[in-house]
Amino acid sequence: MLPTPVGPLALLVRDGVLVAAGFTADPQEMAVRLPRPLRDLPLRAGDVGDAAEAVHEYLDGRIDALDRVPAEQSGTPTRQRLYEALRSVPAGTTVSYAQLAEKAGLPRTAARAAGSACAQNLVAPFVPCHRVLPSTGGYGGYYYGTPVKEWLLAHESRA
């Protein structure tokens, strides 16, 4: 668990690859959301090497530091394309759900699929679903709370 200005950030790693990350003091809260086959494997939590170093760099203002950390999560081929598209949204910028769908090679009408991928994202903020905003305005939802999403976006815009 790593301290951040918006609360603790827990990380879970398997074989050097980040499989879960989230703003919680209890990594078990994330582990229960993992697919059963992954939950049954040995996972490391806490200060987990490069992922932890990237978080420190990100907090110090190098807002692209999280991009270098390998992350993996399960999902359909469409969901995987959406996660790849999310990782391609540069720090300090935002997209709408419809724009995210387009970045993933889907029609703009697949905005709901984009929203679902964000809601099911297990590797926040490394897969930066906080950079997706509703086209109608506002911040929309965020699994770890809107104040965390607001802080992440403000931090990235200041850097």
Active site (annotated) includes residue 129? yes
One of 43, 95, 129, 153 is an active-site residue; which one? 129
Q: In sequence order, what DSSP letters do the residues of 71-124 get, joined into one string?
A: B-----HHHHHHHHHHHTS-TT--EEHHHHHHHTT--GGGHHHHHHHHHH-SBT
Nearest to 100 by CA among 81, 125, 124, 119: 81
Angle between helices 111-120 and 77-87 (to 10 degrees): 80
For 125, phi then psi, to 5°, come to: -95, 10
What is the β-pairing status of strands 10-14 and 44-45? antiparallel
Q: Residue 62 half-sphere exposure, CB side, CA atoms within 13 Å?
A: 9
Q: What are the catalytic residues?
A: 129
